[in-house]
Chains A and B, each alone.
Chain A
Amino acid sequence: MIEMKDLSLVYPNGTQGLKNINVKINKGEFVVIVGLSGAGKSTFIRSINRLVTPTEGQLFVDDEDILKYKGKDLRKLRTKVGMIFQNYNLVKRSTVMKNVISGRLGHTGTLKSILNLYSKKDMALAYESLKRVNIEEKIYSRADQLSGGQQQRVSIARVLTQQPSVVLADEPVASLDPPTSHQVMKYLKKINSEDNITTIVNLHFIDMAMEYADRIIGMRAGEIVFDGPASKVNEKTFEEIYGRPIKEDDIRGGTEENVETP
């Protein structure tokens, strides 16, 4: 469970990233955060694994205030809160396997990881994760030989290998075409329901938010301006969140059908 109490964040340059956020996210929920760029979506999810540190308030993950965490505690938090990025952030020159096994780094001793001495269990877990996103045949390819959608699937496999209880995804489909976007969202949804992993995704496409989310949180200027189940959301709600009429750019469109597999 994640709980934010009066959480605020002011960046050193004076920008208000978050403003008095009070929210509770339950175990296993699939939450989509929507808002225009600059609304504080990234700051919101990056606070949860402390890639940024809120300046005021409290943030509880599994009933522990993580804002005080440093060093070892922080690394431990990050092993259970996995993250997926817009630009996949794989080591492009390393193989898919090496990228996926790096999800185990937080669970593995320094010396063992440097010498590549992973247990059979870890190797099996990495392979299993690759299988779950249907990309196991690329296991020994270099990451830069894969397409964008494939790279994002590898990064999902990396997060799975980490065995997290929470997955944060920061604009995971912004660099992908519509069919691949749907495919990636389907995989995220799948691991959310199969492993009961709390999943928080930043999106700015309203149709995708409505299609995949259990719950939608709308943000504007660092504040939560909407919070409710996806079933109660329509275009009007989005116009209120965005503070302007819906435009073509806000809709991803397309379906998964015409995606090249895999």
Chain B
Amino acid sequence: MNTIVPPKPPKSGVKTIRNIIIGIGMLALYIWTFATIEIPWDRIFSQRTIDNFDRVIPKLFSPDFTFASRVFEYMMETLFIAFTGSFMAAILAVPFGFFAASNINRNPFLNTLGKWILNADRTFPEILLALIFVVAIGPGAFAGVLAIAIHSVGMLGKLYSEVVESIDMNVVEAMEANGANKIQIFFYGIMPQVIPEFLSYAIYRFEIDVRASTVLGIIGAGGIGTLLVISSRNRNWDEVGMILLVIIIFVSIIDYISTFIRKRIV
């Protein structure tokens, strides 16, 4: 049997030259960067740095287990902040999602406005929103909840609108054709198609929010970050170690559960 090798992909000279130019450009950029910056190697590897590492690192790896119950308490608060915030966002994002979906909101101006609102909302990081809410309503978990909720609406609204845009509109047409009104079409034709994806994204967002809310306490918006900032200011590195350990365990467990549930849903 004679084997026929598939023909080589066509080569274009222009592309080769373009790639070579890009390669040279990148190389020049690296050389220029390393040639001009001064890296203070002596400061990085100074005796002081090494002493600090010697002092901190071993303590981080020998967490203070007597501290565990307090850490656990604050971690639960963090979870509650993330859950409440995600839950609020998961519901608030529904109207925004439909408003920004081009197959439901057919007015091009309003549709673009909807998408723009969600884009604008996403540009505010949680920590910035939390800063605003801590000032506006005082420090504590509620400020954190609002920061998480408002930020998550931006992302969930966008993801929801993409889900809505991908539904089978033929089903909607079939319902129209049997005399259903708009509300009935919404509940019978649209909701069954979008609910599983909505839920899946909401759970995914909760997973992200757990991570985000661990740092909110640093600026006074409640949760385990509060503890983190106190312990690190007091240089109790064994306590910080305990906090990090708890965060890592909780985040891993939640990631695992969330992936498991999301696989089952869709």
B188 — which chain A residues lie within 8 A by C-beta? Answer: 91, 94, 98, 102, 105, 113
> In the complex the two chains form, is A79's CB within 8 Å of B187's CB?
no
A102 — which chain B residues lie within 8 A by C-beta? Answer: 175, 178, 180, 188-189
> In the complex the two chains form, is A79's CB within 8 Å of B178's CB?
yes
In the complex, per-residue mask of A91-116: 1 if CB is within 8 Å of any chain B CB, else 0: 11110001000110111101001100
* Chain A residues touching B, range: 20 to 34
> In the complex the two chains form, is A162's CB within 8 Å of B193's CB?
no
> Known interface pairs A90-B171, A91-B189, A94-B192. Does A162 touch B181 (Cβ–Cβ under 8 Å)?
no
**Closest chain B residue to A168, Cβ basis:** B177
**Min CB distance, A18 to chain B, in Å?**
19
B173 — which chain A residues lie within 8 A by C-beta? Answer: 51, 85, 89
**Closest chain A residue to B169, Cβ basis:** A89
> In the complex the two chains form, is B178's CB within 8 Å of A162's CB?
yes
> In the complex the two chains form, is B180's CB within 8 Å of A105's CB?
yes
Cβ-defined partner of B177 (8 Å) among A49, A90, A91: A49
**Min CB distance, A37 to chain B, in Å?**
17
Could you tell me the dominant secondary structure of chain B's interface residues?
helix
> Known interface pairs A51-B173, A83-B174. Does A106 touch B179 (Cβ–Cβ under 8 Å)?
yes
**Min CB distance, A83 to chain B, in Å?**
4
> In the complex the two chains form, is B187's CB within 8 Å of A78's CB?
no
B192 — which chain A residues lie within 8 A by C-beta? Answer: 91, 93-94, 98
| Cα distance A129–B239 in the bound complex, in angstroms | 69
Q: Is A158 an interface residue (CB 8 A)?
A: yes
> Known interface pairs A91-B189, A113-B188. Does A103 touch B174 (Cβ–Cβ under 8 Å)?
no
Q: Is B196 an interface residue (CB 8 A)?
A: yes
> In the complex the two chains form, is B184's CB within 8 Å of A78's CB?
no
> In the complex the two chains form, is A78's CB within 8 Å of B176's CB?
yes
> In the complex the two chains form, is A75's CB within 8 Å of B179's CB?
yes
**Min CB distance, A165 to chain B, in Å?**
13
> In the complex the two chains form, is A76's CB within 8 Å of B179's CB?
yes
> In the complex the two chains form, is A114's CB within 8 Å of B171's CB?
no
| Cα distance A85–B192 in the bound complex, in angstroms | 20
**Min CB distance, A46 to chain B, in Å?**
9
Q: What is the interface size of chain B, counting residues whose CB is below 8 A from a CB of the partner?
A: 20
Q: Is B170 an interface residue (CB 8 A)?
A: yes
**Min CB distance, A169 to chain B, in Å?**
11
**Min CB distance, B251 to chain A, in Å?**
31
> In the complex the two chains form, is A106's CB within 8 Å of B183's CB?
no
> Known interface pairs A51-B173, A89-B173, A113-B188. Does A103 touch B178 (Cβ–Cβ under 8 Å)?
yes
A58 — which chain B residues lie within 8 A by C-beta? Answer: none
> In the complex the two chains form, is A105's CB within 8 Å of B171's CB?
no
**Min CB distance, B25 to chain A, in Å?**
47
Q: Is A22 an interface residue (CB 8 A)?
A: no
Q: In the complex, which of the residues A79, A82, A102 has the most CB atoms of chain B within 10 Å of its own CB atom?
A: A102
> In the complex the two chains form, is A83's CB within 8 Å of B175's CB?
no
| Cα distance A114–B184 in the bound complex, in angstroms | 7
Q: In the complex, which of the residues B170, B171, B177 has the most CB atoms of chain A within 10 Å of its own CB atom?
A: B177
| Cα distance A85–B179 in the bound complex, in angstroms | 15
Within 8 A of A (CB), among B63-100: none
> Known interface pairs A87-B170, A91-B189, A91-B193. Does A105 touch B176 (Cβ–Cβ under 8 Å)?
no
> In the complex the two chains form, is A79's CB within 8 Å of B176's CB?
no
**Min CB distance, A225 to chain B, in Å?**
27
> Known interface pairs A105-B178, A158-B178, A162-B179. Does A113 touch B170 (Cβ–Cβ under 8 Å)?
no
Binding site for A on B (CB under 8 A): 168, 170-171, 173-181, 183-184, 187-189, 192-193, 196
Binding site for B on A (CB under 8 A): 49, 51, 75-79, 81-83, 85, 87, 89-94, 98, 102-103, 105-108, 110, 113-114, 155, 158-159, 162
17 pairs, CB–CB < 8 Å, chain A vs chain B:
A75-B180, A75-B181, A76-B179, A83-B178, A85-B170, A89-B174, A90-B174, A91-B188, A91-B193, A92-B193, A98-B188, A98-B192, A102-B175, A105-B175, A105-B178, A105-B180, A105-B181
| 4 pairs of A and B residues whose beta carbons are closest in the complex | A106-B179, A79-B179, A89-B174, A105-B180
Other A-B contacts than A98-B188, A114-B184, A162-B179, 13 sampled, CB-CB below 8 A, are A75-B181, A76-B179, A78-B178, A83-B178, A85-B174, A89-B171, A90-B171, A91-B171, A91-B188, A93-B196, A102-B188, A103-B178, A105-B181
